[in-house]
Amino acid sequence: MAVILWLTEAIPLAATGLLIIALQPLLGIADAKEVFSNFGNRAVFFILASFMIAAAIEKYELHKRIAVKMLKAFGKSPSLFIFGIMLVGALLSFLIQEHIVAAILLPILLHVLISLKVLPKQSNFGITTMIALTFGTSIGSWGTLLGGARNPLTVGFLEEIQNGYSISFLEWMKMSMPIVFIALPIVTLILLRLYPPEIKDIRKAVVKIEEDANKMGKLKKEEKAVLLIYIATIVMWILFSDKIGVAVIALMTVSLLFFLKLVDWEDVERRVQWGIILLYGGAITMGKSLESTGAIEWLAGKITPFFGGSEIALLAFLIFLTFILTNFMSNTAAVATMLPISIGIAQQAGISPVLSAMAVAIAGGGAFMFVIATPGAAIAYSSGYITQKQLAKAGLIAGILCMLIILGVAIFYWKFLLGL
């Protein structure tokens, strides 16, 4: 039922999350106390706190300052500029939700295209610019727990289902960063091959970016304070998240921002995506009940025999099925659907659940093909410079190659890293 509602969006995704919670005690799957306690998972509070921290970054437009200065460094040629969009989008998505990055980069890139008199939907430079915007932010969202709420959701599932197994902020980065930095140049080359830029000189664009940078002026006292707190938080996540927990560190950061009057509740209310909290809370309770009732074991038992116990075949199946789902439904819902299945299959086949869960989490960020699949794609499409057909063509090729990269890294690098 949840998969059908997530796929069709007959009701809002968050409403489906609430329905999942309500139906479990009503159908006698679990008592209400247990269901609501599962909702209070650490991952849910990390997602909530990370939204609140992002609200402070947005309020002072710190990510815009970083984006403008970084894009200025890639103005030597059109090809380098396209790679710069991919890289800047990815790096910013390490620190803040991918769709927020896409939203802040869009007006900067529109200034560039307008100053170069690029024709919408006809110019290859315009097409590659906007597709690079959505692909770069999507790929970057794989890198850290901050890139997308599906990342801490995966950590939450493993904590609830896999006997309290915990992945720290640094451990996630160790596993995901190689995929990001392998995928970025490869996807850039695909875009440049499919839509080679016809523009040779982008000096006008560089001038425009410089003007944008100058308009922002020097960092104010409040902006410096938020930036220092954010840097300190990242350092704490890297050094102490395995002992204290990412959620506790994030909540302490939020408290400090309020104590120092750097944000108020209205800032948070306007920017926090409350619906995502409800969606993921519901998904975690469903995953826990699937595990406790034996439903995961039953489902995995039906799927696993088709692959003859082959670890590579099973991982490939999970990765590519997630890729298909995430392009036809919300990537948040796709990951929520696939995580309990992937963990169950791993347990049946004798594969590390960490391996399968991470593969699904990262593959779930590969919503490259359709405008509806991710807010970043919708934001790029709203520019008017690309068509759905152009996005799908690039997204299919880039997506398949990225899924193969995930599979290769999982087999040859993750297994070594996890000592398997």
pLDDT of residue 103: 80
Whole-angstrom distance, CA of residue 156 vs CA of residue 150 = 10
For CA atoms 153, 334, 135, 409, give the dihedral sign: positive
Query: Among residues 280, 257, 361, which one has the least CA distance to residue 48?
Result: 280
Diameter of the chain measured on Cα atoms: 66
Whole-angstrom distance, CA of residue 246 vs CA of residue 86 = 27
pTM over 0.85? The answer is no
Residue 85 near residue 102, CB atoms below 8 Å: no
| CA-to-CA dists, residue 309 to 78, 199, 300, 403, angstroms | 48, 52, 12, 21
Q: Write the CB contacts of 210 (distance below 8 Å, at least 6 apart in sequence).
A: 72
> What are the structure tokens assigned to 317, written together?
């199946």
Q: What is the 3-state secondary structure of 299-364?
A: HHHHHHHHHCCCHHHHHHHHHHHHHHHHHHCCHHHHHHHHHHHHHHHHHHHCCCHHHHHHHHHHHC
Q: pLDDT per position in the chain (420 positions), as tens? A: 887 887 777 888 889 889 999 999 999 998 898 888 878 777 778 878 888 888 888 788 777 777 777 777 787 788 998 999 999 999 988 988 787 788 878 888 887 888 788 888 889 999 999 999 999 999 999 999 888 778 888 888 888 776 667 888 899 999 999 999 999 999 999 999 999 998 887 777 777 777 766 777 788 899 899 989 988 988 898 888 778 888 899 899 999 999 999 999 988 887 777 887 887 788 878 878 887 888 878 888 888 788 777 889 999 999 999 998 888 777 777 888 888 888 888 888 888 889 999 999 999 999 898 876 777 888 888 888 998 899 999 999 999 999 999 999 999 999 998 887
